Amino acid sequence: MIYNFSAGPAVLPKEVLQQAASEMLDWHGSGMSVMEMSHRGAEFMSILADAQQNLRELLAVPSNYKILFLQGGAIAENAIVPMNLARLNGSSESAVLDYVCTGSWSVKSIKEAAKYANVHVAADARSLNPAGKFNAIPDESTWKLSANAAYLHLCTNETIDGVEYNFVPKSSAPIVADMSSHILSRVINVADYGVIYGGAQKNIGPAGLTIVIVRDDLLGHALPSCPSAFNWKTVADNDSMYNTPPTYAIYIAGLVFQWIKRQGGVAALEKNNIAKAALLYDFIDHSKLYENRIAKECRSRMNVPFFLRDESLNAQFLSAAKERGLLQLKGHSSVGGMRASIYNAMPYEGVQALVNFMQEFEQRHHP
């Protein structure tokens, strides 16, 4: 049995991969693979419409929000967001964009947005940590929000650092959230946000698809220099068909949405995700060899970074894990240590297998 703990591109439900394999050469009697179909043909149009409709149902997306399928990933959105929204309150030169910095992905978003407008960092989690590391979310009461910000940007799950919001801050400006690595893992109220975006390759499907959920009134404000293919209004007006969308990735994402519905929807997955995260964090907290350094109230349910207190065992840990079929546990190079990403498609049994292995490894090397 293989369990894949990659942070992304990441594990997909086996059932989905099996269905894709069985439909690879001939989708529903069409005689074609989905990869070979015109994006404007009836077959693919039905795949796209189903995927969009199922995502709308799963997240209960209100009717005044558009669901867009784009390319470029969340890193492209770091530029696309300010290109679409910096002018929301008037001229772009004087626009202020509020960002809260809670981890490596926030850092990237801030750096990119600063090319388009004045970025104001309303709070930076590094100021809470003596070593300047990201391991908590600054208390909302300490955030210095601007009076006239076009939007407030958050990364609601920091994939690299393992920090996740479990609250929605109060904000008079629309909240723009990078949800790449925890979208569909927990119930959210879409109406709390102006824009939700994310790359698909963490919790939805293959790399190449970016999902943007945007409130109607935030469309139509793009900078004149914004590329048409990244102007959300142009994309929305063309129902994500302004340019050729990533058709095969949309098809796989659509199969994942169907799979989530069969699991009982996002609420059922959330219940399982809470149980998976509790199993792993409780084990780590009670062990003498492993530790997690993130403040308890903002530990990510999806990405669990941890360290061996004896780091000379790191290489041995990874090779022994691999022998047991527990793959891709090495932490991000900027953080070090280990990281177990336990997305929707990771079954409880996979986390149990990891905990069993970690326990045995500890007994063997650190009794």
Ligand X SMILES: *Cc1c(COP(=O)(O)O)cnc(C)c1O
Does residue 178 have an active-site annotation?
yes
CB of 75 to ligand X, least distance (A): 3
Contact between 197 and ligand X per CB under 6 A: no
* Alpha helix segments (H runs only) across the chain: 14-22, 42-58, 73-85, 104-113, 232-237, 247-262, 265-286, 314-323, 348-365
155 lines the binding site for ligand X (CB under 6 A): yes
343 binds ligand X (CB under 6 A): no
Closer of 87 and 202 to ligand X (Cβ): 202
Q: Which is nearer to ligand X, 73 or 162 (CB)?
A: 73
- 19 annotated to bind ligand: no
Residue 199 binds ligand X, judged by CB under 6 A: yes
- Asked if residue 344 binds ligand X (CB under 6 A), the reply is no
3-state secondary structure of 124: strand
CB count within 10 Å of CB 309 equals 11
Q: How many CB atoms lie within 10 A of CB 200?
A: 26
Binding mask 157-196 for ligand X (x = CB under 6 A): --x------------------x-xx---------------
What's phi and psi for 110, nearest 5 deg? -65, -45
Tokens 């530790």 locate to 291
Q: Which stretch binds ligand X (CB under 6 A): 43-51, 70-78, 116-124, 231-239?
A: 70-78
Q: Fill in the DSSP letter of residue 309.
A: S
Judged by CB under 6 A, does residue 254 bind ligand X? no
Q: Which is nearer to ligand X, 97 or 353 (CB)?
A: 97
- The pair phi, psi for residue 284, each rounded to 5°, is -60, -45
For 236, other C-beta atoms within 10 Å of its C-beta total: 18
CB atoms within 10 A of CB 206: 18
217 has catalytic annotation: no
Which residues form the catalytic set?
105, 178, 202
For the annotated binding site, the residues are: 40, 105, 159, 178, 201, 243-244
Footprint on this chain of ligand X (rule: CB under 6 A):
8, 73-75, 105, 155, 159, 178, 180-181, 199, 202
